[in-house]
Every structure is written in structure tokens, then in C-alpha cells.
A and B are shown apart, each in its own frame.
Chain A
Amino acid sequence: MNRRLLTALIAGATAAVGLFVWAAWPPTARYVPIEISMAVVGLSFMAAGIAAWLRWPASRLGLLFTIAGYLYLVPYILVNLANPVAWTVGNMYQGLYGAALAHLGLAWPTGRLRSRFECGVVIANYAQNVAFNVAGMMFWNPAFSGCSARCPANVLLIGEGSRPAWNALNTVEGFVGLVMTGIVLALIVRHWRSARGWSRRAMVPLVWISFAVGLEQILIGGAFNLPLSGLVSYGLAPLVLLLGPALFMISTVRARTAGGALGTAIVDLEPGAPPGRLKEALARALGDSTLQLAFRQDDGSGYRDTSGQTVQVARPDPGRAVVSVTGSDGAVLVYDEGLKLEPQLVRLTAAAAGMALEHARLQAEVRAQLEQVRASRARIVAAGDEERRRLERDLHDGAQQRLVTLSLALGMAKDRAAQADPELGSLIESASKEAREALTELRELARGIHPAVLTETGLAGAIQALVERSPVATTVTAVPDRRFPAPIEATAYFVVCEALANVAKHARANSAQITICARPGRLVVQVSDDGAGGARPEAGSGLRGLADRVASAGGVLRVDSPPGGGTRLEADLPCP
């Protein structure tokens, strides 16, 4: 941004207003509405120009707005200075602002003219305006317009002037102006039709405003001698020109709205949304339907967008521009070039996309890690179960088998020895008893390590065995007869086992009830008692461990144990 130029513009605008007021002073009642409307229009263009300059430092739009403002106001100041030269020059340049408006319309929304042809149109437009005005001044005697005494001398006037020549020039000028306006409007419509995305949206208000301003120019340009009063022609009609500065306001509001919408779009994006959804949300918020989100392909095949299309990033297609997604490695946004005018908005979009992608990446990473942890926990538990099963089998096949044989041998030895040596007999008898007790203890130990009945018969048999050993009267209201995957059977079994152990140890219950139901995709294990209640999972390591065990199978353990209201334990296990 060129600070000195901006300062000059502001100073110039202030001076222009000062001069305008001074030149129009003292106000003549007849001209006051016209003067006010001219001042408002001119100042609005100047203000829009300065604001546009600040907002779009890289664009010429600010300059064009400002020039239009000066060209509108300065000739009027000059004709009011009561100086023949100033008056003549002022009259020469009246209407030149129209060429600046055409220039502005054709350069919208980037500030650059699109082709040599359009450059030519703009230059021709300025030139014909100046040419006709200069030529007109040579033949125009102010007396033709009833201004002989008040007006300063026309320094360009040749002789007494020529009314027919002046009239002819006016007619030709009106016709040429009409043609030029038509060409400019046609070009603007063509720009709108070929524009996409952000630029197309930016073109829409321009098209409407151009037609309104074009119409106003034609009406007051003298092409038609409409029965309009001077007040309407020179006081009210110019107010249409205020649509020019409004164009700048519309653009600014749109960019601001888009900036806010970006934040909302990112916040509203559901967690884990695919990049395609992110792109759609950004495109919608930004108002650029052509926005593409592209990723560098690992196989070196360049960039592809979210729909799988190859995207040129190093040399973007005409009318497209590229920005890297903030903080990403190999993600880019390809957007409509018109948005280059709003670098802040582009940066904001890139940052929003970066945040969303980073968020999605972190989420995916956490989800993957969680999945890994879940799987490894399930594997650890399954491996533990398998190890216990193996230990039980080893005990069964080894030590238990040998103890059985030993016990039988001792029994036989006792029978034989008892006849010959009663003392030896009773000694062997006590050894035999020891062996049998060791066998019983070993059986209990093996059962505690892993219940063979679970492997042998599944849940129904294993639960029945638990019920038979439970010291509290326990009923089984339902238990599925079929087999389930080993980890599910083991978990369900341990839930019941631990629950019954707690009932016996803590609940002071008279009875307990077991219900196991297979639901679609789930196995629900419930154990309830009519005891003292007040069990807290966080207090005892038993329930805590059980909750962990259930969680390892992907299930949930719920404990409902109001003091004095019994305890109800429910394990909800996922089950194919």
C-alpha cells in the first residue's frame, strides 16, 4: 500500500469538497438540490475509492473509484470559478466520469482489463468523450443555452460559434455514446456469463448496476430529448450513480460474511467428515462453487481433488489460483482467481481447511490408536484365558492323573498291608487320605484357574455348576443353550462367578437370580440379589476388575446397588 498516495488522495478529496463548497457559494436556492446530489455522488466515489484502496491494495479498483469521483466533481468546481479558462476546461470535461465508470465496470472484479480489445474500448471511450467535448466547445456559444451575461467567456469558441455545427456534434456524440455504452454493457454481460464461482457472484450486482447506470447515462446524455425538468435530470438522476460505491459495499459485506461463515462451517462440520464434505462446506461458506481441495498423491502422479480429478497445481488453469492449506503437507486449495482480491479471505480459508484437516487427522489417529489398544486388550485377555485353559489341561493331564494313580495304589496297598501288618495298613490309609485331599484341592485349584465345564458344555452347564456350588439360593431364569465365542463365554462366566462370590461375601442376601439373554448382536448377563446393596464399583477391586474385563470384550458393566435395595449387576456384551 502506497501511503503517500493514499494521503494525497485523502487530501485531494478534502480539497475538492472545500473547493466545491466554496465555488458553489453563495447557494442559489434553485441549484441547492443539484449541488447536494452532486456532492454526495462525487464524495461517495472518492470515499469508496479510498476504502477500496485500503482494502484491495494490489488492485486498481480503488484508483478507478477515486478517479471517477474527481472526474465527476472537478469539472463542476471549475465551471463555478468564474474564470474563463477554468470555465472552459470545466465544460470540456463534463461527462468524462462516464468513461471512468465504463473502465471500472470492465475491470471488475480484479481491477485489470481482460484483453487488448477491452483496453482499446476503454481508451476509445475516454478519447471520444474528450474529442466531442473539445470540438463542441469550439462551436458552442454559451448564448445558445441562454447564458450570455452570467457565464465567463468560452476561450475555445471560434468566432460567434455555430448552432447547426454544435447541434450536429451533439447528435453524433449522443449516437457514439449510445454505441459505446452498448458495447460496454455487452462486454460486462459476457464477463458475467463466462465467470464461475466467486467471480460470477461478484459479477451479478455489477450487471444490474451497469444497466441502471447505463440507462441513466443514456437518458441524461442527450440522446433523447425527454420532457424532464432540470431538477430530475441534474438532481435526481445522478443519485443512480450511488450504485457504484454500493458495489464496493456489497463486495465488502460479502467478504466479511464469507469470513464469518467459514468459521461456522468448520464448527458445524461433523467429526470424521471426509475431505469431500469439508470442501463442500468451505465452498458454500466462501461463495466459490468452483473451490477444489486437492492432495498430492503418494505415487507421484501429481495432485487430485476430492472427486479424484487431476488438478494442475504448479501451473493452474486460467482463472484459477492455488494456495497451500495451512500447516498441511501436500494439501492445496484451488480457487477462483477473483478471490485473489481478498487475500485475507483466502488465508482464512486455507487456515480453516488446515484446522479441519488437522482435526480430522488427529481424530483418525486417536481412533486408530484406540482401536489398536482395544484390539490388543482383547488379545491380552484372550491370551490370558487361553493360558489358563492350557494350565488347567496340563494339571488335568499331569499332576491330577498321577495323584489319581497314586491314590488308587495307596488304596490297594492299604488293603493288602492291612491283613499282614495293621500298623502299616493305617499308615498307608492316612497317606491315601492325604493323596485324596491333595487331589480334591488340586481339582478346586484347576477349576479356579479355568472352569473345564465352560469349555466342555458352554455357558448353560457352567452357570448350572456355579449355581450348585453357590451358598446362597440361586435361580437361573434364563440362559441360552447355544455356544458363543470363547471370550464372550469366559467374560459372561466370570461376571456371574464374581457376582455370586460378592453375593456370598458381602450382600447378606437370601436369594439371587441369574438371567442371561441373547439379543441380536448382544449377550446380556444379569445377576441380582435381595441383599444389603450399597456396592460401589470404584471401591472394590473385584467389581473394578470385572468392569475392565467386560470392557475388554467391548461391553459395558452396569451396577445398580442402592443401599438396602439389593444389587443388580448387568453386563452388556457385543456378540456376533
Chain B
Amino acid sequence: MVGAGPDASGWPRCQTGSVQPSAAILIVDDHDGFRTFARGMLEAAGFTVAEAATGAEATEAARTVRPGLVLLDIGLPDFDGFEVARRLAALAEETAPVVVLTSTRDARDYGGRIAASPAAGFLPKDQLSGAALRRFLARDRA
């Protein structure tokens, strides 16, 4: 069951109303180099990080890892970031993570699709930083 008790991975649950610096981040990207690099950067920023390379792995990890935030690349090999965001949003409310879409492309390249998706927002990959993610988490808390 999702949404009750500490999960199998031992990551602490993200409590609504109190953003922990150690909130788990799930990086979903099929590009190994970017994942490795982002993990290093975010861990340095105090986050706990899990990784997934495909949309399927991402939905699975969302159930097992229960991340507080999912950094979700739009271009994935199986189904795209928008579809993954929809599936994540369908999780029970207390386990649904904050989803931040990302891409090397510009937000404008996706027209209205980003706004129409249940994701919290979009962050261009080259602007990734711990601080940027914290802002998303803080906005979600508010």
C-alpha cells in the first residue's frame, strides 16, 4: 500500500508542511551523464537522490522510494514526461510528489503542454540547482 508507514527503502517520508533539507529527489532521465552529474550536485546540496532511466522505472520508484520531488525529463525512451507526470499525479494525494519537468529544450518548445500537465513547473536543465528545486518545494508547501 502506498501512503502509509515508512517505506521499504528506509527513506523518511516527506511530511507536508515541513520541508526537510534531506527530502528525497528522484531524477528521471535516460541520459546517464546528466543523471550522475545531477546526483552529485543535488547530494552536495543536501538532498537524498534516487535515479530512474525510463518512465516505467520512474512510476515504480515513485511507489517504492516515495520521493518528495521528481525531476522529470520530458524526452524519455518509453513514454514521455507528460505521461509520467499524469501517472504520478494519480497517486494518492499524500504520496504524490512535486513533479518538476525538465529538458535541454526551452519551455516554449512544448507550447501549452507544460501548463496543461499536472507538473508543478518546468526547469531548464542548464539552470538546475539545489536552490531552484527548493523553491519548487517551498511553493508546493505554500
- Which A residues form the contact surface with B (CB < 8 A)? 396-397, 400-405, 407-409, 411-412, 436, 439, 443, 446-447, 451-453, 456-457, 460-462, 464-465, 468-469
Contacts and interface: CB of A to CB of B under 8 A. Distances in A.
Report, nearest first, the 8 A-B pairs whose CB atoms are least far apart.
Answer: A461-B111, A457-B111, A400-B104, A404-B125, A452-B109, A453-B109, A407-B126, A404-B126
A465 B111 contact: yes
B44 to A, nearest CB: 8
A438 to B, nearest CB: 10
Given A396-B75, A436-B126, A439-B126, A404 B34 contact: yes
Nearest to A409: B37
B108 interface: yes
Contacts of B56: none
A461 B75 contact: no
Interface of B: 31, 33-34, 37-38, 40-41, 44, 75, 104-106, 108-113, 125-126, 128-129
A461 B108 CA distance: 9
A443 B109 CA distance: 10
B104 A401 contact: yes
A415 to B, nearest CB: 9
B126 A468 contact: no
A400 B125 CA distance: 10
Contacts of B112: 457, 460-461, 464
Contact of A468 (B34, B104, B108, B129): B108
13 contacts: A401-B104, A401-B125, A405-B33, A408-B125, A408-B126, A439-B126, A443-B104, A447-B106, A452-B105, A462-B111, A464-B111, A465-B111, A469-B108
Contact of B37 (A397, A405, A446): A405
A342 B98 CA distance: 96
A401 B34 contact: yes
Given A409-B37, A412-B41, A439-B126, A404 B110 contact: no
A289 B104 CA distance: 78
Contact of A451 (B40, B104, B109): B109
Given A403-B126, A404-B104, A452-B105, 17 more contacts: A396-B105, A397-B31, A397-B75, A400-B104, A400-B105, A402-B33, A404-B34, A404-B125, A404-B126, A405-B34, A412-B44, A436-B126, A446-B105, A451-B109, A452-B110, A456-B111, A468-B108
Most B Cβ at <10 Å: residue of A397, A408, A409, A436: A408
A408 B113 contact: no
A453 B37 contact: no
A314 B125 CA distance: 84
Contacts of A408: 37-38, 41, 125-126, 128
A396 B38 CA distance: 18
Give the dominant DSSP class at A's interface. helix
A461 B113 contact: yes
Contact of A453 (B38, B110, B126, B129): B110
Nearest to B113: A457
Contacts of B110: 452-453, 456-457, 461
A443 B106 contact: yes
Contacts of B106: 443, 447
Contacts of B111: 453, 456-457, 460-462, 464-465
A405 B35 CA distance: 9
A61 to B, nearest CB: 88
Contacts of A411: 129
B61 to A, nearest CB: 22
A456 B33 contact: no
Contacts of A468: 108
Contact of B31 (A401, A407, A457): A401
A18 to B, nearest CB: 107
B135 to A, nearest CB: 17
B36 to A, nearest CB: 9
B41 to A, nearest CB: 6
B113 to A, nearest CB: 5
A396 B104 contact: yes
B49 to A, nearest CB: 14
Contacts of A407: 126
Contact of A456 (B104, B109, B125): B109
Nearest to A439: B126
Contacts of B105: 396, 400, 443, 446, 452
Contacts of A465: 108-109, 111
A468 B110 CA distance: 13
Contacts of A447: 106, 109
B113 A456 contact: yes
A58 to B, nearest CB: 84
B131 to A, nearest CB: 11
A436 B124 CA distance: 11
Contacts of B38: 408
A307 B137 CA distance: 81
Contacts of B34: 401, 404-405
Contacts of A412: 40-41, 44
Contacts of A469: 108
B53 to A, nearest CB: 14
A404 B126 CA distance: 5
